[in-house]
Structure 1
């Protein structure tokens, strides 16, 4: 560690972001391992029920539960929760039917989509270099999903839909006021996932959990809570432009765990496409950092 507090915070933030990506990927492994064994609605009802209770307890302990949300923030939190419900359905359905690394690689285009949406709906500035990076990034996505009679399937479309849902979720999150407690917003989001999927399971068969399936769901709940807390703390400790690029370490974990656990390894075209997507995202973060630094430099005229 250096003696510069800002540098130390950035390094801690980067380490926490990498930890959160590892935990999120482990959650995906646990969930994918349950495919065909337990219905999706049952998995999410149980997992998010546990996560919701934990977040509510933390929100109560921190005082966030008593402070509550303004009417505007409550509406935005509800929209955010609806976007997360759609994300859970499309992403996990795709994950159950596609290799882990392929799904994760397409998901890495989400920051690029969020950047475009922020420029359109939040009027955040975006230069021509970053526009070219977005075009390159989505060209990489096309290499991964290969829209054609041989490479493309319905579940690849599901991943793309989940990216759109993530964009809606993140743009809505940006519109929340600074006073909105993150723990309470997360609890509302998790509760909506729990209740919506629980409702879809009414009248359907619920499977008796085995020690294996119960353990996988418990593991998923535990790691996803750790992932959320680590990612929030990472963004609070470090600068966004420094910490955010470490999200792409999720792809490394997906490659390793996908091969070790499921025996999947992407094709060369998929790897090239993933490299293009990640490279485009990293360049976008680099340009954002340059623009912010230039804005802080006083004019010499």
Structure 2
């Protein structure tokens, strides 16, 4: 029996989350061995070549971009650069599951900011889900406790930069190809951290570090591919909740690879964030169906 488009889309979303979490695991495994800026340049060079090839094959490698979109792409670049630095710095110094759980609040924060800055409608049900989800984030970082430190703040700052990136992406016109945007973003990250890397001493890579770096780049590439395919298969409103499977991967890999297991409050907070996100996405799906029925 053939799989439906929604089922295939859900499987690809789960594969994308698995790939991105494996990338995070490999990058964290290199913490303390290879400078962060060097890692970002090496990984970025490989991903830039790959995304550039994909953009070329898809006919997206051109500069026929509307003037308004160019500014939005520049904002997206800033968001990606900031997110890369603050997220990976937090990741190198915090348990994988904790950082991943904080990042799972992203759909909630993006929806809230879209309502605040773009005037998008936000009903009481979704607003409640967002507020409850933010309470979950506070349970994860627990400000004022012994476990709260600078890197907890870095994780929250990384969310802010990703929100900037995603809000800029939402405002892009349909005439700008997504793969060209992805290529421009990966190139900007590579160039920026290439310039920043002159401030640190590069270290030679042994076989293990080299393979882990290549593996991290490969996982990012797979994550990008599956992310693009997800947008073309199935209903996004159905597929989107499966992004929270990344948290399961982070729990398993954090325990298996690094021996980290979150404290009970962190697990409760992560569950609240994930549940709130799923409920909000399901509500958005319900509203989209109603809108389609009215249009008919």
Provide the C-alpha distance between the structure 1 equivalents of 2:6 and 2:256, rounded to a whole number of angstroms: 31
* Residues 228-267 of structure 1 mapped to structure 2, 5 A cutoff: 228-267=224-263
Provide the C-alpha distance between the structure 2 equivalents of 1:233 and 1:218, rounded to a whole number of angstroms: 23
Alignment partner, residue 87 of structure 1: 83
Alignment partner, residue 148 of structure 1: 144
Q: Secondary structure at the match of 1:37?
A: coil
On the 8 A contact 1:24/1:227 being kept in 2, the answer is: yes
Instruction: Say if 1:70 and 1:295 are closer, same or farther in 2 by CA, change over 3 A.
Output: closer
More divergent stretch after superposition (197-206 vs 134-143) = 197-206
Per the normalisation by structure 2, the TM-score is 0.96
Of 219, 223, 230, the residue aligned with 1:227 is 223
After TM superposition, give the deviation of residue 203 of structure 1 in Å: 4.1
After TM superposition, give the deviation of residue 67 of structure 1 in Å: 5.8
On the 8 A contact 2:80/2:165 being kept in 1, the answer is: yes
Provide the C-alpha distance between the structure 1 equivalents of 2:228 and 2:293, rounded to a whole number of angstroms: 29
Alignment partner, residue 58 of structure 1: 54
Alignment partner, residue 18 of structure 1: 14
Provide the C-alpha distance between the structure 2 equivalents of 1:246 and 1:137, rounded to a whole number of angstroms: 17
Of 171, 179, 182, the residue aligned with 1:183 is 179
* Residues 115-194 of structure 1 mapped to structure 2, 5 A cutoff: 115-194=111-190
Provide the C-alpha distance between the structure 1 equivalents of 2:262 and 2:184, rounded to a whole number of angstroms: 36
Instruction: Say if 1:293 and 1:203 are closer, same or farther in 2 by CA, change over 3 A.
Output: closer
Deviation by residue 1:63-96 (Cα, 9 ceiling, x = unmatched) = 2113642222222112101110000000000000
Number of aligned residues: 295
Instruction: Say if 1:60 and 1:261 are closer, same or farther in 2 by CA, change over 3 A.
Output: same
Unaligned runs of 5+ in 1: none
Of 230, 248, 264, the residue aligned with 1:268 is 264
Provide the C-alpha distance between the structure 2 equivalents of 1:109 and 1:298, rounded to a whole number of angstroms: 31
On the 8 A contact 2:35/2:200 being kept in 1, the answer is: no
Of 43, 46, 53, the residue aligned with 2:42 is 46
On the 8 A contact 1:68/1:184 being kept in 2, the answer is: no
More divergent stretch after superposition (280-289 vs 22-31) = 280-289
Provide the C-alpha distance between the structure 2 equivalents of 1:243 and 1:232, rounded to a whole number of angstroms: 13
Per the normalisation by structure 1, the TM-score is 0.95
Q: Which runs of 4+ in 1 moved over 4 A?
A: none
Unaligned runs of 5+ in 2: none
